[in-house]
């Protein structure tokens, strides 16, 4: 393992608490979570339904705010930013891949991929052009650049979304169930892409998933249960992850 990159944090939360609602109906979705997502690594977040995976991702990515505790992208504490700065940080330093692709239907594949760069006004510049060019090859979409999303399969659309997420060379890409709408073959392609971006292009990915096969693509899996971080697993395999998840079912969350 490359310790120089492994010890640098791309994103982290410290003593993260998220409470939805108030009084009798309050739900403690995160209950004191400390977790670091190292730069240059692919981390999967797993746990039973309702364990707080999406909440953790949304709070770590500045899409939602913590009730208490802190969230950082690199050294920047999200809670200290005003709305404008937070919007800029999300735009410039974070990429997103969602289950539902979220492409702009009226734009071509090429336009969808470069959208974050166009919004940031950073498309001029040779290195940006070379980078998106390399991305287009990595996601295998060169012959589809002038198609619109509706003319693509689900797997192809998600590959466009992956290219878009990495286009601005963000510090970290957060992926929320990126294979949830795909058949296993297309899902495998998308997961391979995420892994390749991390290992060959030195990117950082944090992925929420229900699927042990998807989690096995990560370098490390962190497990949540009842809003707490209960375990971490290096070099996961689908079988090991499945066994760990079964332990939640049979014994409940460990203390």
Q: Is 37 helix (H, G, I), strand (E, B) or coil?
A: strand
Residue 190 to residue 39: CA distance in whole angstroms: 20
Min. distance of Cβ 60 from ligand ATP in angstroms? 12
Comparing CB distances to ligand ATP, the nearer of 51 and 186 is 51
> How many C-beta atoms lie closer than 10 Å to residue 29's C-beta?
26
Comparing CB distances to ligand ATP, the nearer of 47 and 149 is 47
> Which parts of this chain interact with ligand ATP (CB under 6 A)?
20-21, 27, 29, 47, 49-55, 210
Query: Rg of the chain's alpha carbons, rounded to an integer?
Result: 18
Structure tokens at 15: 């003593």
Comparing CB distances to ligand ATP, the nearer of 144 and 228 is 228
- Asked if residues 224 and 253 have their Cβ atoms less than 8 Å apart, the reply is no
Min. distance of Cβ 172 from ligand ATP in angstroms? 18
Task: Work out the end-to-end distance of the chain between its first and last CA atoms, rounded to an integer number of angstroms.
Answer: 30
Min. distance of Cβ 68 from ligand ATP in angstroms? 16
Comparing CB distances to ligand ATP, the nearer of 27 and 119 is 27
Comparing CB distances to ligand ATP, the nearer of 145 and 238 is 238
Min. distance of Cβ 49 from ligand ATP in angstroms? 3
Q: Report CA dihedral (75, 79, 85, 90) to the nearest 10 degrees.
A: 70
Count of alpha carbons within 13 angstroms of residue 223, beta-carbon side: 24
Min. distance of Cβ 139 from ligand ATP in angstroms? 26
Q: Is 51 helix (H, G, I), strand (E, B) or coil?
A: coil
Min. distance of Cβ 159 from ligand ATP in angstroms? 23
Sorted by sequence, the CB contacts under 8 Å of residue 64 that are 6+ apart come out as 18, 55, 58
Comparing CB distances to ligand ATP, the nearer of 45 and 161 is 45
């Amino acid at each position: 393992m490359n310790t120089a990159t492994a010890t640098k944090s791309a994103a982290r939360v410290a003593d993260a608490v998220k409470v939805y609602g108030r009084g009798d109906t309050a739900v403690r979705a995160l209950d004191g979570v400390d977790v670091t997502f190292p730069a240059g690594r692919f981390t999967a977040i797993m746990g039973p339904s309702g364990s707080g995976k999406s909440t953790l991702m949304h709070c770590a990515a500045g899409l939602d705010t913590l009730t208490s505790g802190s969230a950082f992208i690199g050294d920047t504490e999200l809670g200290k930013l005003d709305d404008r700065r937070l919007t800029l940080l999300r735009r410039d330093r974070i990429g997103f891949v969602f289950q539902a692709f979220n492409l702009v239907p009226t734009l071509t594949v090429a336009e969808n991929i470069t959208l974050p760069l166009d919004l940031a006004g950073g498309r001029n510049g040779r290195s940006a052009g070379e980078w998106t060019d390399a991305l287009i090859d990595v996601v295998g979409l060169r012959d589809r650049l002038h198609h619109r999303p509706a003319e693509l399969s689900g797997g192809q659309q998600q590959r466009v979304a992956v290219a878009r997420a990495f286009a601005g060379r963000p510090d970290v890409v957060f992926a929320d169930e990126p294979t949830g709408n795909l058949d296993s073959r297309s899902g495998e392609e998308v997961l391979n892409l995420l892994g390749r971006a991390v290992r060959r292009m030195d990117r950082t990915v944090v992925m929420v998933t229900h699927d042990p096969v998807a989690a096995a693509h990560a370098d490390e899996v962190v497990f949540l249960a009842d809003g707490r971080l209960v375990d971490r697993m290096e070099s996961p395999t689908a079988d090991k992850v499945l066994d760990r998840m079964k332990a939640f079912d049979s014994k409940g969350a460990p203390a």
